[in-house]
Amino acid sequence: MPARDAAIDVIQRELTAFARRARTRASQIHPELSLVAYGMLDYIEERGGCRVTDLASHFLLDKSTVSRQVAVLERGGLIERGSDPHDQRGQILRPSEQGLRLLAEANERRRLAFARRFADWDDTDLEQLAHHLHRYNAAG
């Protein structure tokens, strides 16, 4: 197997392991929260609020799938609906105080976990990883 193909195989395995850990951590954050629902809550907070159609577009999911995840977030008291100031027929989803608190706690736990994992990495290695991950995700 050519070196490039072998490297791609390793990357695929490692990213899959990363995703499995992320799914496990999402369930530890809130027992009813899937990784997708957690990601949506994080996106809603990052954007300062958004519509269901924005979530569907960003996550490349159909509206019914997004609606089910949004319902989980609403039942958990993690988001609230408000009117869209640009379209009176539309609704904007925003994190509730409880949702913001959950995100802040999760972000702190995640930051500490990353700090432990990267404790023996030098600054150059961290900067390179950050650069390459950004480049990978920017490629779409």
Residue-range definition of the domain harbouring residue 43 = 3-138
Neighbouring CB atoms inside 10 A of 73's CB total 23
Q: What is the Cα–Cα distance from 118 to 125, expressed in whole angstroms?
A: 9
What average pLDDT does range 97-107 have in this prediction?
Answer: 92
What tokens were used for 130?
A: 């950050």
Question: What residue type is 59 in one-letter code?
Answer: F
Mind giving me the DSSP string for 67-127?
HHHHHHHHHTT-EEEEEETTEEEEEEEEE-HHHHHHHHHHHHHHHHHHHHHTTTS-HHHHH
What average pLDDT does range 10-37 have in this prediction?
Answer: 80
pLDDT tens digits, residue range 29-65? 777 778 888 899 999 999 999 999 999 999 999 999 9
**pLDDT at residue 90, rounded to an integer:** 83
Question: For residue 70, what pLDDT band results from cuts at 50, 70 and 90?
Answer: very high
We report the CATH number of the domain holding residue 62 as 1.10.10.10
Total domains in the chain come to 1
Question: 129 or 22, which is more confident?
Answer: 129
**pLDDT at residue 130, rounded to an integer:** 92
Question: For residue 18, what pLDDT band results from cuts at 50, 70 and 90?
Answer: confident
Helix (H, G, I), strand (E, B) or coil at 133: helix
pLDDT tens digits, residue range 2-12? 899 988 999 89
Q: Is the pTM of this model over 0.85?
A: no
Question: What residue type is 22 in one-letter code?
Answer: A
Rounded to the nearest integer, the mean pLDDT of the chain is: 89
